[in-house]
A and B are shown apart, each in its own frame.
Chain A
């Protein structure tokens, strides 16, 4: 949980003034440096993002004196490319905050993209009902996984490993193993309503991708919710010390189920965005996305042990990976090398977490 900085509240019941002195952090000098270090660690992914941005500027190819990297289109390509992973990663952050993990989100994305495509194209559903049904499916799938984790005490890793297989299988069955192409036409019943194609478009003079706006909205909502709600206090408490949380009256089981449900919901939404962007429901799409989402969360500074981390960090983590891929791509570095470099970044981020001083609260 974030704290307002510079707000040093001094509390001391002792009467002797010298005791007050000992208990109060010394201001200035050492205290100041400590604050800088604390801030650096707390927002490590934002600083990382800034560094990568600077690297992007430095290494950007130059056409007619213009840096391609800084071109408006290129920058929005980056935020577009991270939209689906970003949405997944927001849900993943919650799960990881309670000390869990969700490996099913990539398959769930594929399944959702297939279901929405089938409903729109083959079943002639309207966009509203189709989207709602897919979101509910995601929510229910997540809640089921959460219930297995919470009530039977099966490890989240195992439950969601199974869920990953199940969702992938469902995606293939639903689609008959073939991708479902979405074509648009409001009057043709075998085509999807045209509004759905909006997801793939860009607004504000064709600059800002709609899918990015969806991601931004999800992230903003999550950031707000994790700041202010009592639910978020429960989430952090469970990750911090589950037993203590339970004894303090936190409804541990309910919170876990809700968290997994939200993660499933995010996966379904990401699947819808994916289908809308590609105009395609792909049963094999989203493979490995769960790992990319986890990577974004880890780079964003959230502890895999739970109890510590922020959605803002995750957003920065997702952007950092997207930006890095973009820079490497602009410089014609092959994707093999891209994945090696991203692997190193993950290790670096995790390493920074290890040396993070204990006094830096999340």
Chain B
């Protein structure tokens, strides 16, 4: 890099605190044109806060921002947008009741000559943007109907629509499976070639070396390292971030000889009101033994979430065929409350929509599922409630000031741990997890894997849906691959690797490619 050209973005001595929590402390940060600058750090390290300073959302900060050498002060997000800065938010910020196209053009609707909203042009351009991100979604569909990963792609498309010079990506891939991630990486290389400066935040360590040119590590709001990130391995990235080597792969011993906790046999759901976006179970066969962690793999839209929801009694209403048994008893759960009573616990995919009351305290959110059980004659003893929450928070290593803080003030990963903690507190026999490590840092992921391992040791059966292949291979005893709502394969993780999983998820056409690379194996499920 030649030093006489000022960088695209230069942030100097940025500090910001929330009440007593110092989120950013005297940070210097630059983004050059045509580079991808990775921002690493544990949950709550201050990555999102720093980027919100740059995108004009946090304005009461210290320190200065220069764009191409010119000092600038943002008072609102729109100021930053005008300066060419776009941000893909970690927490999906779409309007659920509007269509994809309306969301993308929100506040900058295209007009016809007559001055009315030009729907047709908006829909066409939205289609083109979505194509770049690699999904074929109808731009007229409502955002609330979309699955989390699809919403994430819409958010990405929305940021791309701004044609920004600086693109901030705050965990853009947390809900994406490998196929969509590849697509995003292609878009990133195109943008890099056209001179866009990018910031990339992710807790998927293997992505860093592939996509980033440079990396900066934050810890507790301060910069602790900055280095060249090309060809960085996942292990190196994790170590740089945590400050010591992290064991990310936990193969729970396959001592899973317990009884079958869950048996699903050729389950089909025929929804009463079929909807285009949903992929209800359409031929699922699987089993989970006590003490076993079974993964659910598949591409976006393979039906992992729908399967977990169906098992938890909150799937599409309609008729069933096939059978589900829990601990040998045939069940047909209707509603979460009954499923919980039967001994299931569910961690939903989107914590902000389905997981947490953000304004309420960590305490209230953590114990919500067990307040009935804690209550004596209808009254919840303060001490017991507090102890339970405290225990959960400590076990999971939730980073917070006090359990009375609103859960919305925690960093994303820590919010996720609160949801997981609530499920664990119910003492389930079967844990249904939908992307439980989404947005969780490597250290905390390792913690969660350890917790799952411990739960399994106590005899809990775990069904674990994830789009991160490394995680499935590393944590699960077996992985069931879903495609179009069907279980198509079962792979034993002690024998196969990520490549096999990917191939199996993609389906026939792709398997050929993978075979050509001499990587695929694993048996077809009958």
| Residues of A in contact with B (beta carbons under 8 Å apart) | 1, 3, 7-14, 18-19, 21-27, 30-31, 34, 228-231, 233-234, 236-237, 239-241, 243-251, 307-308, 358-359, 361-362
- The reply to whether the CB of B340 lies closer than 8 angstroms to some CB of chain A is yes
User: Does A1 lie within 8 Å of B380, measured CB to CB?
Assistant: no
On whether the beta carbons of B360 and A240 are closer than 8 Å, the reply is yes
Binds A, one of B4-12, B13-21, B315-323, B506-514: B13-21
Would A22 and B221 be within 8 Å (CB), given that A30-B20, A234-B371 are in contact?
yes
CB of B403 within 8 A of CB of A11, answer yes
Shortest distance between the CB of B148 and any CB in chain A (Å): 14
Residues in B neighbouring A240, C-beta threshold 8 A? 357-360, 364
Q: Give me the 10 closest cross-chain CB pairs, A-B, nearest first.
A: A240-B357, A13-B397, A25-B20, A26-B20, A22-B220, A230-B375, A230-B371, A241-B357, A249-B340, A3-B404
**Residue count of chain B within 8 Å CB distance of chain A:** 60
- Secondary structure dominating the interface of B: mixed
> Could you say which of B17, B346, B359, B404 has the most chain A C-beta atoms within 10 Å of its C-beta?
B359
Sample (30) of A-B pairs whose CB atoms are under 8 Å apart: A1-B360, A3-B404, A7-B402, A10-B402, A11-B400, A12-B397, A14-B397, A22-B21, A25-B401, A31-B20, A230-B378, A233-B368, A233-B380, A236-B364, A237-B364, A239-B357, A241-B355, A241-B357, A243-B354, A245-B368, A247-B354, A248-B336, A249-B340, A358-B406, A359-B19, A359-B405, A359-B409, A361-B404, A361-B405, A361-B406
> What's the nearest-Cβ distance from chain B to residue A180, in Å?
39
Any A CB within 8 A of the CB of B1: no
Let me know if B314 is at the binding interface, CB within 8 A. Answer: yes
With CB as the reference atom, state the residue of chain A lying closest to B21: A25
Q: Is B399's CB within 8 Å of the partner chain A?
A: yes
* Interchain nearest-CB distance for A262 vs B (Å): 14
Q: Which residue of A lies closest to B337 (CB)?
A: A249
Interfacial chain A residues near B359, Cβ < 8 Å: 240, 307-308, 358, 361-362
CA A3 to CA B405, docked complex, whole Å: 10
Whether B249 is near chain A, meaning CB under 8 Å from some CB there, is no
Q: A11-B393, A247-B314, A249-B337 are in contact. Are A23 and B21 (CB under 8 A)?
A: yes
CB neighbours of A246 from chain B (8 A) = 314, 335-336
Could you give, for residues 248-289 of chain B, a 1 whenever the CB lies within 8 Å of some chain A CB and a 0 otherwise?
A: 000000000000000000000000000000000000000000
Known contacts A230-B372, A358-B408, A359-B409; is-contact A22 B22 (Cβ 8 Å): yes
Distance from A82 Cβ to chain B, minimum over Cβ atoms (Å) = 29
Residue of A13, A18, A24, A237 with most partner-chain B CB within 10 A: A13
A359 to B19, CA, bound (A): 9
Chain A residue nearest in CB terms to B309? A247
**Pick the contact of A24 from B401, B403, B426, B447 — CB < 8 Å?**
B401
Q: Which residue of B lies closest to A13 (CB)?
A: B397
How far is A270 from B221 in the complex, measured between Cα atoms in Å?
56
Most chain A CB atoms below 10 A, which of B371, B378, B397: B371
Partner of B394, one of A13, A239, A251: A13
- Apart from A9-B404, A11-B394, A361-B406, 5 more pairs, CB < 8 Å: A9-B402, A11-B399, A230-B372, A359-B406, A361-B361
Are A14 and B399 neighbours in the complex by a CB distance under 8 Å?
A: yes
In the assembled complex, the CB of B317 is this many whole angstroms from the nearest CB of chain A, namely: 14
| Minimum distance in angstroms from B60 CB to a CB of chain A | 12
Which residues of B (380-412) have their CB < 8 Å from a CB of A? 380, 382, 390, 393-394, 396-406, 408-409
Residue of A nearest to B357 (CB): A240
Q: Which residue of A lies closest to B377 (CB)?
A: A229
Q: Which of A3, A8, A13, A19 contacts B401 (CB 8 A)?
A: A8
Q: In the complex, which residues 17-31 of chain B have their Cβ closer than 8 Å to any Cβ of chain A?
A: 17-22
Instruction: List chain A residues, Cβ under 8 A from B341.
Output: 249
Across the interface, name the chain A residue whose C-beta is closest to B393.
A11
Cα distance A31–B393 in the bound complex, in angstroms: 23
Q: A25-B20, A34-B19 are in contact. Are A11 and B354 (CB under 8 A)?
A: no
Closest-CB distance, A233 to chain B (whole angstroms): 4
Across the interface, name the chain A residue whose C-beta is closest to B20.
A25
Which residues of B lie under 8 Å from residue A12 when comparing CB positions?
A: 397, 399
Q: How far is the CA of A110 from the CA of B403 in the complex (A)?
A: 45
Q: Point out the residues of chain B lying under 8 angstroms from A13, CB to CB.
A: 394, 396-399, 447
Q: Is B356 an interface residue (CB 8 A)?
A: yes
Q: Check A247–B355 contact: CB distance below 8 A.
A: yes
Q: Could you say which of A243, A359, A361, A362 contacts B18, with CB atoms under 8 Å apart?
A: A359
Within the complex, which residue of A31, A247, A251, A361 is in contact with B360, where a contact is CB–CB below 8 Å?
A361
* CA distance in complex: A248, B406 (Å): 18
The interface residues of chain B lying within 8 Å CB-to-CB of A19 are: 219-220, 399
Chain B residues with CB under 8 Å of A228's CB are 379-380, 382
Residues of A within 8 A of B413 (CB): none
B360/A236 in contact, CB under 8 A: yes
Residues of A close to B382: CB separation below 8 A:
228
Bound together, the chains give a CA A330 to CA B276 distance in angstroms of: 66
By a CB distance below 8 angstroms, the chain A residues around B401 are: 8, 10, 23-25
Cβ contact within 8 Å between B369 and A248 = yes
Instruction: Tell me, in angstroms, the Cα distance from A114 to B16 when the chains sit together.
Output: 62
Minimum Cβ distance to chain A for residue B94 (Å): 16
Residue pair A23, B336 in contact (C-beta under 8 Å): no
- Contacting B402 at CB < 8 Å: which of A8, A247, A307? A8
Chain A proximity of B119: nearest CB distance (Å): 29
**Shortest distance from the beta carbon of A112 to any chain B beta carbon, whole Å:** 27
The answer, yes or no, to whether B374 is at the interface (CB within 8 Å) is: yes
Complex-state Cα separation, A358 to B361, whole angstroms? 11
Which of A21, A249, A250: most chain B CB closer than 10 A?
A: A249
Contact of B390 among A9, A233, A236 (CB under 8 A): A9
B77 part of interface (Cβ distance < 8 Å)? no
What separation, in Å, do the CA atoms of A164 and B21 have in the docked complex?
A: 49
CB neighbours of B399 from chain A (8 A):
11-14, 19, 23
User: Do A23 and B346 contact each other (CB < 8 Å), given the known contacts A229-B379, A231-B378, A241-B356?
Assistant: no
**Residues on the B chain within 8 Å of A27, using CB:** 20
Are B353 and A243 within 8 A (Cβ)? yes
Q: Report the separation of the CA atoms of residues A359 and B402 in the bound assembly, to the nearest whole angstrom.
A: 12
